[in-house]
């Protein structure tokens, strides 16, 4: 199996806090890997480290055997890494179409001078980008919102837009940060089905951070479990569900949530 | 450079630096508590200078002038906080910067209109014959400015560490909501921090007037004050004082070393360099999120 | 339908203006030239502040660079105005990029401070190099000549009109292309922009350079229209005025720049009897808009357009 993402002993420390400690994992090309763990396990920090948003204290991150560790965030994106955000991070003042167009822009680039003088090349590029974006909007059932301002839309629609936008960039590795948070059960089921079919049809490797066990079980090929910045278990979803350590980690969280 | 000259310059540098230190303090105090950087602070200093002019022309004795300016300055701060700052505290940063900047420009214009651009001046409280001490010529006004700055700085530091209100102010600057929950009246804290800030600023205007005269351009020294605040790390009170003094020293020495035309460039170039490479200054602790 | 009709109306009025301007008299032509210059400068500032979200208090410094360099190129090296002005704008762009490189990493008050510092640096340089720049007393600008003849003020107005048209056209092109989307994205969510491959720092720097280009052009034009460069025109009052233009007109849109600059350019005339109160009035207008209409006059224009579009489309639907 070709490996797409390899993380070796990743450590991320801020101030006195160690958010991720010697995390190692390998994700095969085309795999759907879940990354779960109780709150504060370091899952989102790991995502931020891969995408270049937070500086790494030590360790290596390799994409298709090429190091990502010293690259700027936008360069990492150009290597084929995409992500969605837990809180969506929409371009609020822009329409849904424009949001997705920014995703399209990652691989289709009208040069500055052409844009400035509105040349035929610019025109063609813009038309192509528009049709790509509209295709994606259609696939995600967002066509009716194409001209609506992102800031006016409900969270569930924005989540779909976030995914559409990330996919518009044609990533090879897509990191989904809590993609179903804030969604109802049926919305979540829809989202999972869409993600799965997309990953398979376009051979995209998915790394999905999820808090919701049910979603994870339905979606992932295999699961890595984190707690306190370290990996505590890894394997098939069915095995993970029965793993003592995992149950303790989540139970501990449930108990502390329930405490008065 | 002889030692005497170096020391002489040091004194000049520290005395002008004291003014910058006061301005830096006036900027940092309300910034720490309410998060608003008063870009119009320079004009508060100018107002203080003009107030000094008016009161002196009324033939009031110096101590009365001084106390009145401090009190009037403080009251002015209360008014500013109530009328101008309170409504915009929650506004986006752009609005805060532009609003305080614009108000500063207005004050400067109004003073121009009212008093014209002709320079005015008042005398220092102890005359201008230099005192001889330790083989150096010391301008009594400089000595006075230094003394005042020391007193004010000590008072401010003590205020923040020993008094209830001072501690409340520190709490508010660290975490406003938590402070409110602890029963601290945040509005009162804001009001006092602005009052103190404008009182200090106005006092600086009075003190500096004998040195540089009274005209609408006095407010330009806010940029030195800002540089002092940056050097000190925007949120550090002792840092602001040290920062201001450093700017004074740097300015005075570079005046001699590189000539008076370019000495004016030095503070700004230093400001730019600091902002780019070390925005938290020498004493600040801010974490700077990239992006 | 309405859009294209509107564009035709605007185009025809501009042409009509160009043709009749010579009959309007010297002073109105002068005022309209100044308005055009303000529009060009406002367009530049709006790209930087309104679109890429970077506050700048030194926009007028780039106008100064454009004004002084184009005038000096003509005065000292005999370059004709139509070479000197673009060169001046180019020089301003370079300086804009130079400043933008470090400045684009700063945010909020730190950026405001850095631009304020740069403003002061430029002012000091102007004053200290007085034998070149004329210092505080200003610089006389050589009269523009073409083919050996002096260019009349009417022709200069046409030049300003054409330049303004170019500025509006180019900025509109940029904003409706991926460049415009990236500028806005960088302001709205740098994290999301990065994740989509947008080089945030580079875009911010580009915005600085772009704004300086337009400002430099405006400065060069101002020099030949006014005939004299007064360094006082490039200080904090100018910064305040330009920010007021874009706030009043509408930040982030070319229409906003045009509306704000055009409307407020009429002000100095109306305010002539109370010239000293200029700053105060600008501030009141600025604060008023920031409080009550922060999105600017362009919002009124937009709702007007939508209403007309609706009215004309229902009319067409009915027929």
Q: Residue B287's closest chain A neighbor by CA?
A: A15
- Which chain C residues are closer than 8 Å to B230 by Cβ? 113
Ramachandran region, residue C316 (left: φ > 0; alpha: ψ -120 to 50; beta: rest): alpha
Whole-number pLDDT of residue A135: 92
Total count of domains within chain B? 1
Across the strands, what pairs with A208?
Answer: A34, A176
Report yes or no: B264 at the C interface, CB cutoff 8 Å: yes
Whole-number pLDDT of residue B291: 34
Residues 248-287 of chain B with CB under 8 A from chain A are: 287
Q: Which residues of C touch chain B, with CB atoms under 8 Å apart? A: 49, 55, 57, 102-103, 105-106, 108-110, 112-114, 116-118, 120-121, 124-125, 128, 190-191, 194, 200, 236-237, 239-240, 243, 247, 276-280, 282-283, 286-287, 290-291, 294
Burial of C306 (0-12, 13-18, 19+ CB in 10 A): exposed
Residues 145-184 of chain A with CB under 8 A from chain C are: 165-166, 169
- The distance of A24 to chain C (nearest Cα, Å) reads 23
Does residue B291 sit within a domain? no
Does residue B290 sit within a domain? no
Chains in contact with B via at least 3 Cβ–Cβ pairs below 8 Å: A, C
Farthest-apart Cα atoms in chain B, separation: 59
Whole-number pLDDT of residue B255: 83
- Which chain B residues are closer than 8 Å to A53 by Cβ? 291
Whole-number pLDDT of residue A40: 81
| CA–CA distance, A249 with A245 (Å, rounded to integer) | 6
Q: Residue A165's closest chain C neighbor by CA?
A: C196
Is-contact C248 C264, C-beta < 8 A? yes
Query: At A60, phi and psi to the nearest 5?
Result: -130, 140
Does residue B288 sit within a domain? no
Whole-number pLDDT of residue B1: 67
Does the beta-carbon distance from C283 to B102 stay under 8 Å?
yes
Residue B95's domain comprises: 3-277
- Which chain B residues are closer than 8 Å to A15 by Cβ? 287
Does residue B143 sit within a domain? yes
- The distance of A121 to chain C (nearest Cα, Å) reads 12
pLDDT at C7 over 80: no
Is-contact A41 A233, C-beta < 8 A? no
Among A51, A115, A123, A147, the strongest candidate for a mutation testing the C interface, having the largest count of C CBs within 10 A, is A115
Q: Element (H or E) spanning A62, and its range?
A: strand A58-63
Q: What is the mean pLDDT of residues C113-137?
A: 89
Which pLDDT tens digit goes with each residue over C226-264? Answer: 999 999 889 888 988 999 999 999 999 999 999 999 999
- Which chain A residues are closer than 8 Å to C192 by Cβ? 85, 89-91, 165
Does the beta-carbon distance from C286 to B98 stay under 8 Å?
yes
Which DSSP letter does residue A152 get?
Answer: G
Report yes or no: B132 at the A interface, CB cutoff 8 Å: no
Residues 104-123 of chain B with CB under 8 A from chain C are: 105-106, 108-110, 112-113
Confidence class of residue C37 from pLDDT cuts 50, 70 and 90? very high
| CA–CA distance, B21 with B242 (Å, rounded to integer) | 7
CATH, residue B206: 1.10.3470
* CA-to-CA dists, residue B15 to A107, B204, B209, angstroms: 60, 12, 13
- Give percent helix, percent strand, percent coil of chain A, each to the nearest 5: 45, 25, 30
Domain ranges of chain A: 3-90+169-258, 91-152
Does residue B186 sit within a domain? yes
Q: Residue A87's closest chain C neighbor by CA?
A: C192
Does residue B119 sit within a domain? yes
- The distance of A133 to chain C (nearest Cα, Å) reads 13
Confidence class of residue C83 from pLDDT cuts 50, 70 and 90? very high
| CA–CA distance, C319 with C310 (Å, rounded to integer) | 14
Does residue B182 sit within a domain? yes
Which DSSP letter does residue B120 get?
Answer: B
- Which chain B residues are closer than 8 Å to C128 by Cβ? 261-262, 264
Least confident range from B21-25, B98-102, C95-99, C272-276: namely C272-276
Does the beta-carbon distance from C177 to A126 stay under 8 Å?
yes
The CATH architecture to which A3-90+169-258 belongs is 3-Layer(aba) Sandwich (3.40)
pLDDT at C287 over 50: yes
List the single residue in C121, C240, C279 with the smallest CB-CB distance to B268.
C121
Report yes or no: A73 at the B interface, CB cutoff 8 Å: yes
Among B84, B263, B268, the strongest candidate for a mutation testing the C interface, having the largest count of C CBs within 10 A, is B268
Chains in contact with A via at least 3 Cβ–Cβ pairs below 8 Å: B, C
Does the beta-carbon distance from B102 to C287 stay under 8 Å?
yes
Among the listed residues C104, C125, C121, C4, the one whose alpha carbon sits nearest the alpha carbon of residue C56: C104
Report yes or no: B291 at the A interface, CB cutoff 8 Å: yes
| CA–CA distance, A88 with C129 (Å, rounded to integer) | 53
What would the 3-class secondary structure string for chain C be? Answer: CHHHHHHHHHHHHHHHHHHHHHHHCHHHHHHHHHHHHHHHHHHHHHHHHHHCCCCCCCHHHHHHHHHHHHHHHHHHHCCCHHHHHHHHHHHHHHHHHHHHHHHCCCCHHHHHHHHHHHHHHHHHHHHHCHHHHCHHHCEECCCCEECCEECCHHHHHHHHHHHHHHHHHHHHHHHCCHHHHHHHHHHHCHHHHHHCCCCHHHHHHHHHHHHHHHHHHHHHHHHHHHCEECHHHHCHHHHHHHHHHHHHHCCCCHHHHHHHHHHHHCHHHHCHHHHHHHHHHHHHHHHHHHHHCCCCCHHHHHHHHHHHHHHHHHHHHHC
- Which chain B residues are closer than 8 Å to C236 by Cβ? 101, 105
Whole-number pLDDT of residue A247: 82
Does residue B283 sit within a domain? no
Which pLDDT tens digit goes with each residue over C186-233? Answer: 999 999 999 999 999 999 999 999 999 999 999 999 999 999 999 988
ipTM confidence: 0.90
Confidence class of residue C89 from pLDDT cuts 50, 70 and 90? very high
Residues of chain A with pLDDT under 50: 259
Residues of chain B with pLDDT under 70: 1, 283-291
Farthest-apart Cα atoms in chain A, separation: 66
- Which chain A residues are closer than 8 Å to C50 by Cβ? none
Query: B234-258 burial by CB neighbour count: b if 16+ within 10 A, else e?
Result: bbbbebbbbbbbbbbbbbbbbbeee
| CA–CA distance, C103 with C114 (Å, rounded to integer) | 7
Structural tokens at position C78: 């005999």
| CA–CA distance, A124 with A118 (Å, rounded to integer) | 10
Confidence class of residue C315 from pLDDT cuts 50, 70 and 90? low
Q: Residue B170, CB half-sphere, CA atoms under 13 Å: how many?
A: 13
- Which chain C residues are closer than 8 Å to B106 by Cβ? 279-280, 283
- The distance of A49 to chain B (nearest Cα, Å) reads 14
């Amino acid at each position: 199996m070709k490996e797409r993402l390899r993380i070796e002993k990743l450590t991320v420390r801020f101030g006195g806090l160690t958010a991720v400690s010697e995390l190692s994992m390998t994700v095969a090309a085309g795999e759907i890997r879940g990354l779960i763990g109780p709150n504060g396990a370091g899952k989102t920090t790991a995502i931020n480290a891969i995408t270049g948003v937070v500086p790494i204290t030590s360790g290596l991150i390799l994409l298709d055997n090429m190091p990502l560790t010293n690259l700027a965030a936008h360069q990492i994106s150009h290597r084929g890494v995409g992500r969605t955000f837990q809180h969506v991070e929409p371009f609020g003042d822009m329409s849904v179409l424009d949001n997705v167009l920014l995703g399209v822009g990652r691989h289709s680039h009208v040069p500055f001078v052409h844009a400035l003088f509105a040349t035929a090349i610019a025109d063609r590029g813009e038309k192509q980008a528009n049709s790509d974006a509209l295709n994606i909007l259609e696939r995600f059932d967002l066509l009716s919102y194409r001209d609506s301002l992102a800031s006016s839309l409900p969270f569930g629609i924005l989540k779909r837009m976030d995914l559409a936008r990330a996919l518009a960039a044609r990533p090879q590795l897509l990191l989904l940060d809590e993609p179903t948070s804030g969604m109802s059960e049926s919305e979540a089921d829809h989202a999972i089905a869409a993600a799965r079919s997309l990953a398979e049809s376009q051979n995209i490797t998915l790394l999905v951070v999820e808090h919701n066990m049910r979603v994870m079980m339905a979606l992932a090929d295999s699961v890595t479990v984190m707690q306190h910045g370290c990996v505590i278990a890894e394997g098939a979803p069915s095995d993970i569900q029965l793993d003592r350590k995992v149950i303790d980690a989540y139970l501990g969280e449930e108990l502390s949530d329930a405490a008065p | 450079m002889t030692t005497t000259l170096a020391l002489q310059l040091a004194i000049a540098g520290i005395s002008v630096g004291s003014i910058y230190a006061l301005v830096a303090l006036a900027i940092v105090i309300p910034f720490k508590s309410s998060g608003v950087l008063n870009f119009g602070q320079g004009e508060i200093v100018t107002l203080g200078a003009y107030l000094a002019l008016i009161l002196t022309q009324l033939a009031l004795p110096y101590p009365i002038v001084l106390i009145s300016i401090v009190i009037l300055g403080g009251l002015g701060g209360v008014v500013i906080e109530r009328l101008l700052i309170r409504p915009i505290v929650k506004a986006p940063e752009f609005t805060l910067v532009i609003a305080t900047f614009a108000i500063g420009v207005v004050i400067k214009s109004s003073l121009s209109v009212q008093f014209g651009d002709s320079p005015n001046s008042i005398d220092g409280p102890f005359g201008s014959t230099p005192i001889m001490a330790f083989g150096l010529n010391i301008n009594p006004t400089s000595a006075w400015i230094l003394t005042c700055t020391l007193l004010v700085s000590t008072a401010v530091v003590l205020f923040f560490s020993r008094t209830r209100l001072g501690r409340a102010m520190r709490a508010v600057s660290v975490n406003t909501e938590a402070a409110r929950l602890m029963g601290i009246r945040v509005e009162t804290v804001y009001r006092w921090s602005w009052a103190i800030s404008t009182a200090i600023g106005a006092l600086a205007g009075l003190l500096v007037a004998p040195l540089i005269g009274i005209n609408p351009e006095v407010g330009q020294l806010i940029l030195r004050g800002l540089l002092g605040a940056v050097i000190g790390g925007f949120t550090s009170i002792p840092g602001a004082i040290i920062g201001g003094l450093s700017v004074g020293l740097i300015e005075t020495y570079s005046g001699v070393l590189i000539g008076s035309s370019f000495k004016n460039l030095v503070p700004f170039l230093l400001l730019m360099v600091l902002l780019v490479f070390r925005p938290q200054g020498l004493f600040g602790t801010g974490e700077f999120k990239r992006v | 339908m309405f859009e294209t009709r509107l564009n035709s109306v605007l185009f025809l009025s501009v042409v009509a203006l160009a043709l009749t301007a010579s009959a309007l008299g010297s002073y109105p032509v002068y005022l309209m030239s100044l308005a055009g210059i303000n529009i060009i400068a406002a367009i530049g500032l709006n790209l930087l502040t309104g679109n890429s979200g970077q506050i700048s208090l030194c926009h007028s410094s780039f106008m100064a660079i454009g004004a002084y360099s184009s005038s000096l190129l003509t005065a000292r090296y005999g370059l004709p105005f139509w070479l000197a002005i673009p060169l001046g704008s180019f020089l301003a762009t370079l300086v804009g990029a130079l400043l933008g490189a470090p400045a684009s990493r700063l945010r909020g008050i730190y950026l405001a401070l850095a631009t304020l510092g740069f403003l002061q640096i430029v002012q000091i340089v102007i004053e200290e190099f007085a034998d070149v720049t004329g210092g505080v007393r200003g610089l006389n600008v050589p009269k523009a000549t073409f083919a050996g003849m002096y260019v009349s003020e009417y022709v200069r107005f046409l030049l300003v009109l054409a330049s303004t048209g170019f500025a509006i056209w180019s900025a509109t092109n940029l904003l409706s292309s991926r460049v415009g989307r990236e500028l806005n994205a960088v302001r709205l969510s740098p994290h999301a922009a990065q994740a989509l491959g947008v080089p945030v720092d580079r875009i911010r720097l580009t915005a600085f350079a772009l704004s300086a280009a337009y400002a430099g052009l405006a400065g060069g034009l101002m020099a030949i229209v006014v005939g004299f460069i007064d360094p006082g025109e490039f200080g904090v009052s100018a910064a305040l005025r330009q920010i007021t233009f874009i706030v009043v007109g509408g930040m982030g849109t070319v229409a906003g720049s045009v509306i704000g600059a055009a409307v407020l350019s009429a002000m100095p005339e109306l305010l002539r009897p109370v010239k000293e109160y200029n700053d105060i009035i600008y501030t009141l207008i600025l604060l008023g808009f920031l409080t009550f209409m922060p999105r600017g006059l362009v919002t009124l224009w937009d709702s007007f357009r939508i209403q007309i579009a609706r009215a004309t489309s229902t009319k067409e639907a009915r027929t």
